[in-house]
């Protein structure tokens, strides 16, 4: 794996029905409501949008996401990213037997932000911790959001 490439895998077990979890994850416009590190999501076209986010470290990332797959039957949401991160991000959502839902996050990206590229070697552990904190906050935020939503 290259110095500027990252592969992130996260697993979120959520106490909510599959349909609610998939609907929330398929609506990036709602992300700033429940994910504190997502600062802005702006829709550009039916299949693309710009997202700004920041976690613990003092830098902000900006990407444009292009929808590649939105398949509720298979439980897959996938997007191609361009900008400060370039690569692919994917949610795989599946039903659990106990009324819970499992959401797997898989991201394979290359960092393009100049500061992060310059700090690639000494900063790598901090970048990974920063991402882990963001994912933990996202899971907690989505759990709370799903508990408050009244789906029709």
Quick one: which of 118, 129, 115 has its CA closest to 8?
A: 129
Model confidence over 37-87: pLDDT tens digits?
999 999 999 999 999 999 999 999 999 999 999 999 999 999 999 999 999
Domain 5-148: top CATH class: alpha beta
Give the integer Cα–Cα distance in Å for 49 and 54: 17
Structure tokens at 32: 């700033």
Q: Are 142 and 35 contacting, i.e. CB atoms less than 8 angstroms apart?
A: yes
Model confidence over 120-149: pLDDT tens digits?
999 999 999 999 999 999 999 999 999 998
Q: How many Å separate Cα 139 from the centre of its chain?
A: 10
Instruction: Kindly report the pTM of this predicted structure.
Output: 0.94
Q: Is the pLDDT of residue 152 over 70?
A: no
């Amino acid at each position: 794996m290259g110095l500027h490439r990252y592969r992130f895998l996260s697993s979120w077990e959520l106490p909510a029905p599959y349909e609610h979890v998939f609907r929330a994850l398929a609506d990036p416009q709602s992300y700033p409501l429940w994910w504190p590190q997502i600062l802005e999501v702006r829709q550009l076209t039916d299949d693309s949008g710009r997202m700004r986010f920041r976690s613990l470290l003092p830098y902000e990332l900006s990407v444009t996401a292009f929808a590649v797959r939105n398949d509720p039957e298979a439980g897959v949401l996938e997007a191609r990213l361009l900008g400060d991160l370039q690569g692919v991000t994917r949610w795989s959502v599946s039903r659990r037997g106990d009324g819970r839902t499992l959401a797997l996050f898989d991201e394979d990206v290359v960092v393009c932000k100049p500061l992060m590229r310059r700090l690639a070697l000494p900063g790598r552990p901090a970048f990974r911790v920063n991402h882990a904190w963001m994912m933990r906050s996202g899971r907690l935020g989505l759990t709370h959001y799903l508990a408050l939503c009244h789906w029709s």
